[in-house]
Chain A
Amino acid sequence: MRIVILGMGSVGRGVLASIMEKDLPFTVTGIADSKSGIVDPSGIDPGKVMTIKREKGICGNPGITPIDVVRQADYDVLVEVTTTNATTGEPATSHIREAIMRGRHVVTSNKGPLALHFRELKALAREHDVSLRYEATVAGAIPVMHTIENGLAGNRINAIYGVLNGTCNYILTRMAEEGLSYEQALIEARELGYAEADPTYDVKGIDAAIKVVILANTIWNMNVGLSDVEVTGIDLLTTAAIRLAEEQDCTIRLLGEAVPNKNLLRVSPRILPRDHPLVLNGTLNALTLSTDLAGDITLIGKGAGSKETASAIIGDILFIKRMYAGRA
């Protein structure tokens, strides 16, 4: 299977490293980062590209842009793992559209295009008879989409509840465990690389809300966007509030929830018993799916990380490979 990778950040490098280490049946025919690109129909050596990227800061020829790679390379699957822009969804949306219109499958970790143009992109993929898969957009390594699509096929999902942002979960864990203030816990999260220099997107609950949007659109075929979610972040929480919860064997976690029959799409800090399945420590993510046949299913795992996100990407590519096997 021939693939093209756009984005040489943590996810892109994780995918390349896994292809090398695990001898996966993929031929990489094109790679681009934000400043350069490389196209080679006979296959690119992932190790070589990673060395060049590490040494020079760019992966290929500065004259080749990502969209050039999308248009010119010879491939079956576009792996779009550039950085999410939640406001415009670009340039990822253009990359994805272009690949689909060329009749190529798309696997992405980029939340922007899915949160902003879900229906359009799904319809476009259907029209061109290709797959658009995005397991890596929600809860990192946890196979949420595969579980919904395959394992729980035939179930009606009534509601979802989840810890969908590892940064917030880390901060809340540290506030509860060590009595740190919100500001102290945020500094610690930054030092450990769990929080961005501008943490707004995480701590205000926006990242979690985007994941609620992607899940709601996927599960119930809704057509909702970020503005349809009621969002409260964790930035105004006090250590005292967490202690008051802890005194009653409870704690506070940031939860995303979608309950269609109550017309509810919400991200908010909530009080939970400490032994509740969604109370996890550190940067873990979790999602409870309330279903009619299977009852409640709770999935727990790593929500971010280079290899972890690569796991979701690789799972999607292999799924496409299997699904389209034998087709011309």
Chain B
Amino acid sequence: MKLEMKDTPGQLVAALRPISDVGGNIVAVIHQHDRASHADTLGVQIVLEIDELRIPELVSRLKETGVSIQRIGEERLVYKETVILIGHLMHTDIADTVDQIDRTGFAEITELNIVMPAVQERSSARLIVRAVSRDDMERALEILRAVSKEKELLLIEPLDGAA
């Protein structure tokens, strides 16, 4: 979200406090002194993780502290990992494999690339998994591990995945 506040001491801290009060997690604070705009105001971009149900409460609390909100941009599936699957992907219903992640509500397969060399040979696929949080990514990978085991597919995970 992009905020505008008075450029006086203590204002930034005052603006950040409501975020933690409503259980939000601050990922980044980008502090911009924009000289072209009003000299007495400060533009700040804050990247945060928060349950979307808490957003209205945060907005009203920020307004109470005199901070004006210029823009709220939302990106739900902020965590991204790439995995590779090898095996009889079509025969084991790749659509179902993808759906097992998509129907969770907290993660999705956003990209799928399959290489199929010949009918009887094993195919290889690259899947991009996106998830709402780090924990959700781990849950999604756990589902993929179980599905791979059941369908006898080889799952290759990233090293820095939430293994």
Contacts and interface: CB of A to CB of B under 8 A. Distances in A.
B124 A270 contact: no
Contact of B154 (A236, A264, A271): A236
Interface stretch (B30-38, B65-73, B94-102, B155-163): B155-163
Contacts of A257: 163
Contacts of B9: none
Contacts of A252: 84, 156
A276 B126 CA distance: 20
A64 interface: no
Nearest to A259: B163
A238 B124 contact: yes
A271 B84 contact: yes
B159 A276 contact: yes
Interface in A144-172: 161
Interface of chain B, main secondary structure: strand
A280 B51 CA distance: 42
Contact of A255 (B113, B124, B159): B159
B47 interface: no
Interface in B140-158: 154, 156-158
A282 B84 CA distance: 23
Nearest to A161: B159
Interface residues of B, number: 18
A262 B163 contact: yes
Contacts of B82: 245, 248, 250, 271
Given A238-B124, A272-B158, A244 B115 contact: yes
Interface string A232-246: 100011101101110
Contacts of B158: 250, 270-272
Contacts of A236: 86, 122, 154
B159 A241 contact: no
A174 B128 CA distance: 26
B123 A240 contact: yes
A270 B154 CA distance: 11
A187 to B, nearest CB: 19
Contacts of A266: 163
B56 interface: no
B3 interface: no
A311 interface: no
Contacts of A37: none
B97 to A, nearest CB: 16
Contacts of B84: 241, 244-245, 252, 271
Interface of A: 161, 232, 236-238, 240-241, 243-245, 247-248, 250, 252, 255, 257, 259, 262, 264, 266, 268-272, 276, 278
13 contacts: A232-B154, A236-B122, A236-B154, A238-B86, A238-B124, A241-B84, A244-B124, A244-B125, A245-B84, A248-B82, A252-B84, A271-B84, A271-B158
